[in-house]
Amino acid sequence: MDQVLIDYLARWAHFLFGITWIGLLYYFNFVQTEYFKEADGDARTDAFTKLVPRALWWFRWGAAFTFLTGLIMLGLRGAGVTLDITVGAVLGTLMFLNVWLIIWPNQKIVIESNTQVKAGGEALPEAAGAAPKAALASRTNTLFSIPMLFFMGSSAHYAHGGLNGNTTALIVALVIIAALELNAIFGKQGPMTTVRGVILSGLALTAVLWAVVAMV
């Protein structure tokens, strides 16, 4: 098959799966989380046993196939990889790992706990700790998604050049991203607690990372 066609099909699939993934990410953070803050206990329990598992299925597999199609495109481009796409790909990779290693494992515990409650049993003790871990990773993914989408776009329309000679900018950007990822694992939501806060934080992170890559 022609490489150009493979590249286009991978790009199309990347967009398709990415829309599914990020769309659900925003649904969870901007709609569902805010609803759960106001819903009564029975409504939350019912949602966690019927709605959330379905949404998380599409969410985690959307993330997986977005990541895989992204790898295909990066492999096809080889030496043509830019600083912008590298920053975007690092953010996307961490988001994918957060889904499968933090959000989904902890949400499974919360779902199982609510399932037991709905059946008349007791909530799982570990669910109290699992929910905040999943929430923090999800908020961090929302934070990362804003600059990730920016750099995915700029890589094709406003690129800052290749990786050669841009080592300092890349290292600074990676240090900032790594610090935020460590917070996703060990820290707190801070300003990301609210919808407004996470959106503004994402825009601020985009501006900071753009200033960093513009140092070249």
Dist CA 143 CA 181 (whole Å): 10
The chain-wide mean pLDDT, for the chain, equals 93
Q: Each residue of 45-91: pLDDT tens digit?
A: 999 999 999 999 999 999 999 999 999 998 887 766 888 999 999 99
Q: Each residue of 182-207: pLDDT tens digit?
A: 999 999 999 999 999 999 999 999 99
Per the structure, the complete domain to which residue 82 belongs is given by: 3-213
* Model pLDDT, residue 205: 98
Percent of the chain with pLDDT over 70: 94
pLDDT at 163 over 80: no
Name the range with the highest mean pLDDT among 33-47, 90-104, 164-178: 90-104
Q: How many separate domains does the chain show?
A: 1
* Model pLDDT, residue 156: 73
Q: What does the CA dihedral 42, 47, 49, 54 come to, rounded to 10 degrees?
A: 180
6-37: burial string, b at 16+ Cβ within 10 Å, e else: eeeebbebbeebbebbbebbeebbeebeeebe
* Model pLDDT, residue 167: 86
* Model pLDDT, residue 89: 95
* Model pLDDT, residue 154: 84
* pTM summary value: 0.94
**What confidence tier does 151 reach under pLDDT thresholds 50, 70, 90?**
very high
* Model pLDDT, residue 214: 86
CB 111 within 8 A of CB 178: no
pLDDT at 13 over 70: yes
* Model pLDDT, residue 216: 63
Residues with Cβ within 8 Å of 144's Cβ and at least 6 positions away in sequence, in order, are 91, 92, 94, 95, 177, 180, 202, 205
